[in-house]
């Protein structure tokens, strides 16, 4: 936890930014809820519990900054809000998501499922890949068991 905060602090400094108390609170909330997919509002409410003076705009600005530095990834599951997901330590690729259309759960897949696809895209389409988004929509194993 503390090492990860430290590393993020360094990343900010290198880019010319400070890890202010508000930014640190925001980062901590993201770290403590790493498997969730929090919206800016979600983050704001959680940060507010511990630092009630924080403003929503600051949370938005912090999330934008973290996105720029690829510390978090901004994702959109099509429900009208952006969600923010910490990029995993040393992961060169953004993980994939399984969205259950029955219960709404969002599960993560951390193994790389598309290295073959990437090869095709780079070689056959001459496209230099920097990032990707892969999301499956369907029925999760829990909802299938219920039936």
Which of its own copies, DNA, none lies near 56, with the C-beta cut-off 5 to 8 A by kind? DNA
Task: List, in sequence order, every residue forming a beta bridge with 96; answer none if it has no partner.
Answer: 109
Per-residue binding letters, 1-40, with DNA (x by CB under 7 A):
---------------xxx-xxxx---------------xx
Query: d(Cα 107, Cα 57) in Å, to the nearest integer?
Result: 29
Is the CB of 20 or the CB of 102 nearer to its own copies?
102
Structure token digits, residue 84: 């923010």
Residue 62 near DNA by CB under 7 A: yes
Contact 46, 29 (CB under 8 A): yes
**Residue 125 half-sphere exposure, CB side, CA atoms within 13 Å?**
9
Cβ 2 to its own copies shortest distance, Å:
32
SS3 call for 118 = helix
SS3 call for 96 = strand
Q: Is 97 annotated as a binding residue?
A: no
Footprint of DNA (CB under 7 A): 16-18, 20-23, 39-41, 51, 53-58, 60-62, 64, 80-82
Question: Would you list which residues are annotated within the binding site?
Answer: 100, 103, 132, 140, 143
């Amino acid at each position: 936890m503390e090492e990860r905060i430290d590393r993020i602090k360094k990343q900010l400094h290198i880019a010319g930014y400070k890890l202010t108390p508000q930014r640190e609170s925001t980062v901590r909330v993201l770290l403590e809820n790493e498997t969730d997919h929090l919206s800016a509002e979600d983050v704001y409410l959680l940060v507010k519990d511990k630092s009630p003076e924080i403003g929503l705009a600051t949370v938005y600005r912090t999330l934008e900054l973290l996105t720029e530095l690829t510390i978090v990834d901004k994702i959109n599951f099509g429900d009208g809000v952006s969600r923010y997901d910490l990029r995993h330590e040393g992961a060169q690729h953004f993980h994939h998501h399984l969205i259950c259309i029955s219960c709404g759960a969002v599960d993560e897949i951390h193994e790389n499922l598309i290295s073959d696809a990437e090869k095709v895209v780079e070689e056959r389409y001459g496209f230099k890949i920097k990032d990707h988004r892969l999301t499956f929509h369907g029925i999760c194993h829990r909802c299938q068991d219920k039936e």
